[in-house]
Amino acid sequence: MPSPTTADEVVRALGDLRSPEELAKVRARLAPGEEAFGLRMRDLFATAKAATALPLDEVDRLLDHPAYEPRMAALCILDFKARRRIADDDRRALFDLYLGRHDRITTWDMVDRSAPRVVGGWLAGRSTAPLDDLAGSDDPLRRRTAITAPLQFVAAGSDEDVAAGFALADRLADDPDPVVHKAVGIFLKHAGTRDPDALRRVLHDRASSMARPAVRLAVEKLPAEERSRFVR
């Protein structure tokens, strides 16, 4: 696949891959009235990967598009850039673009695709104050970013980073929005592989008040006899 060099070329490439059969599937996870092209996610990812070298000002232009797929492609491009060995200034620029255009993130999968490497990848070893700010937002998707970004701490952060992630999970454990509390459960499930005792402490303190789907996710990797203590 040729490498797109502008936002317009990415949009044209995505448009060429439209699939009427996929449109209904895409619309099912979007807000009513939100525009969409309708294409397979593997095609969207392949297009975004081919555009990994797209300049950030062009990625920013993609985020202006009203349809879901160009904006999702922009977040994928940020993720692909973050996977590379890049200078700190470049990594900070990815982080700044993500947070600066968070208003263009309209679905949970946009967060999950990019927040760990783009946001968590920059904050590992640094202050997590930006995540604390996001955790206090009225926007559920910003709160999801707050607890999804620390998944990168589990993969490649220090013990202090992971502890900061557990503190965020504790703060958001009782969140009533499924977009948030399911992400808390996912973080706890994976973070528990780094620090099982911290997971048990959170569950001991919070499981009774957490949403059941979040608890079921959080205990997935625990032995069966322990899972039964928390899931009823």
Give the ranges where the chain is alpha helix by DSSP (H): 7-15, 20-27, 41-50, 56-63, 68-82, 88-100, 108-114, 121-123, 129-135, 140-148, 151-156, 159-172, 178-191, 196-206, 212-218, 224-230
Q: How far apart are CA 143 and CA 167, in angstroms?
A: 14
End-to-end CA distance of the chain: 50
| pLDDT reported for residue 29 | 85
Rg (CA), the chain: 18
How far is 96 from 143, CA to CA, in rounded Å?
A: 17
pLDDT score, position 1: 65
Tokens of 229: 């203590």
The answer to whether 179 touches 208, Cβ cutoff 8 Å, is no
Closest to 169 measured CA to CA, from 139, 192, 141: 192
186 CB neighbour count, 10 Å cutoff: 20
Written as one string, the DSSP assignment of 90-144 is HHHHHHHHHHHTGGG--SHHHHHHHIIIIIIHHHTTS--HHHHHHHT-S-HHHHH
Cβ(144)–Cβ(184) below 8 Å: no
pTM comes to 0.95
**pLDDT 10s per residue in the chain (232 long)?**
678 889 999 999 999 999 989 999 999 889 899 999 999 999 999 999 999 999 999 999 999 999 999 999 999 999 999 999 999 999 999 999 999 999 999 999 999 999 999 999 999 999 999 999 999 999 999 999 999 999 999 999 999 999 999 999 999 999 999 999 999 999 999 999 999 999 999 999 999 999 999 999 999 999 988 888 888 7
The answer to whether the beta carbons of residues 71 and 65 sit under 8 Å apart is yes
**Per-residue CA distances from 54 to 6, 73, 198 (Å):** 7, 11, 41
Q: Which amino acid is at 210?
A: M
Question: Residue 97: its pLDDT value, please?
Answer: 98
Amino acid code (one letter) for 56: L
**Residue listed under structure tokens 């059941």:** 212
